[in-house]
Structure 1
Amino acid sequence: MVFVTAGTQLPFDRLIEAVDDIASMHPDVQFVVQALSSRYKAKHVEVVDFLSSQEFDQYFKQANMIISHAGMGTIISALVKKKPIIVMPRQYAFNEHRNDHQVGTAKQMEANGYVYVAYDSDELKTLFKNMWPDNLNIRATISDVASDEIIQSLNDFIKSK
C-alpha cells in the first residue's frame, strides 16, 4: 500500500494528479490519499480529506511507501517509522503555498540524504517506477528520542545560564 499525504492547509492538485496517473499504471496497488478537496477529481485512488490521528498512524504503519508534500511532520514520521518516502514540494509558482519554503526543505533533506525528492510529476513517476516494488530503500532513519549527547549538551547549556 502507498500512503500519500498532501497536508491539511491547501489543496495540492499537482501531486494528486501525478499519483492518480501512477495508480492507473498499477491497478494492483492500493493508494490512499489524504488531501483537502481539490479541483482535480481522482479516478484511480481513494482520496480522504480528513483523517484522525489514529487513522493517519494506521495508514502510515500499513504503508510500504510514503509519498508526501515536503512537510516536516510527515518527513520526520517517515524517518522515525523507517518508511521510504518521496516528497514533492509545494511551489509558490503554482499557487500551492504562500512561499517556497517546501522547496528549500526538500533540497536540504535531499542533500542530507534523508528523502527522495521529485520536483515535478515526471520526476515523481520516474522515482516511483524505479523504486516500486523491489527497491523500497530507506535513505535514512532517526530515533524518536534525543541522543544522550544532545540531552547532556542541553543540560550543560541550561546549567551555564
Structure 2
Amino acid sequence: MIFVTVGTQLPFDRLVSMIDELAGKHALQVFAQTADPGASYKHIDHAPYLTPDEYDDIIARTTILVGHAGIGTILTAKKVEKPVIVMPRKASLGEHRNEHQLATARHLEGQEGVYIAHDRATLSELLNRNDLTPASFRDTPEKTRLQQFLRNFVYEA
C-alpha cells in the first residue's frame, strides 16, 4: 500500500490529485491523509486527519510513503525504514508561504531511500518502480554533508 501524507497544516491538492489519477491509471492501492475535510477523490481511500494510532497502523502496512517536503515525513520514513517520495510544495502556486520546501528537497537529493518528484512524470515513474530503497538513518556522504552544512549555518550565524 502507498501512504500519502501532506501534514496537518495545509492541504496539498496538486499532489493528492496526481496520486488519485495515477492510482486509477495503474491500479495502485493508496490511502491519503489530506488535511482537507472537503476533499473528494475517485481512486484512493482518504481522510483529512488521522489519530496517532491510525497513523501508526497505516505506516506499518505501507510499502511506499509519499509526502510534501516536510521534515516530519522524512523522519518518519527513516524511522520505519520505508522508501519516501517527496514532492515539495511551491509558494509560487499558493501551496505555502515561501519556497523552503524546494530548498529542503535540494538538500535531500541523493539521500538513500529519499526520492524527489517535481512533476507528474517523475512521480508516476517512482510509484511504479519495485526497487525503491528504504530510507534510513545510516551515515551516508550526503548525510555528513547536510550535517556539516547545518553545523556551519548554526555556528556561523
With structure 1 as the length reference, what TM-score do the two structures score?
0.79
- CA RMSD of the aligned region, Å? 1.8
- Is 1:12–1:96's contact at 8 Å kept on the other side of the alignment? yes
Query: CA distance change for structure 1 residues 82 and 70 in 2, over 3 Å: closer, same or farther?
Result: same
Match of 1:50 in 2: 49
Checking the alignment, whether the CA contact within 8 Å between 1:12 and 1:38 is kept in structure 2 is: no
Quote the residue 1:136 is aligned against: 132
Structure 2 residue runs of 5 or longer lacking an equivalent are: 139-157
Counterpart CA distance in 2 for 1:85 and 1:113 is 10
- Give the distance between the partners of 2:122 and 2:33, measured in 1 at CA: 21
For 1:2, give the aligned amino acid: I
CA shift, 1:122, in A, is 2.1
Is the CA contact (8 Å cut-off) linking 1:66 and 1:78 kept in structure 2? yes
Q: Give 1:47 shift.
A: 1.4
- In structure 2, what is the Cα distance between the partners aligned to 1:108 and 1:114? 14
% identical aligned pairs: 39
Q: How does 1:66-145 map to 2 (within 5 A)?
A: 66-113=65-112, 115-129=114-128, 131=129, 134-138=130-134, 140-142=135-137
String of CA shifts for 1:114-138, please: whole Å, max 9, x gaps. Answer: 5100012222112222x2xx21322
Distance (Å, rounded) in 2 between the aligned partners of 1:39 and 1:92: 22
Provide runs of 4+ in structure 1 moved above 2 Å: 38-41, 111-114
How big is the shift at 1:70? 0.7
1:16-31 paired onto structure 2 within 5 Å:
16-27=16-27, 29-31=28-30
Structure 1 residues 4 and 33: CA distance shift in structure 2, 3 A? same
Report the Cα distance in structure 1 between the residues aligned to 2:22 and 2:45, rounded to whole angstroms.
Answer: 13
Deviation at 1:6, TM superposition (A): 1.1
Larger radius of gyration: 1
What is the DSSP-based 3-state SS (H/G/I as helix, E as strand, rest coil) of the residue aligned with 1:25? Answer: helix
TM-aligned CA distance change 1:54 to 1:38, over 3 Å: closer
Cα offsets for 1:49-105 (capped at 9, x unmatched): 010111111111110110111110110110111101100010001100001111111
Q: Does the CA-based 8 Å contact 1:4-1:34 persist in structure 2?
A: yes
TM-score, reference length from structure 2: 0.81
Structure 1, unaligned runs of 5 or more:
144-161
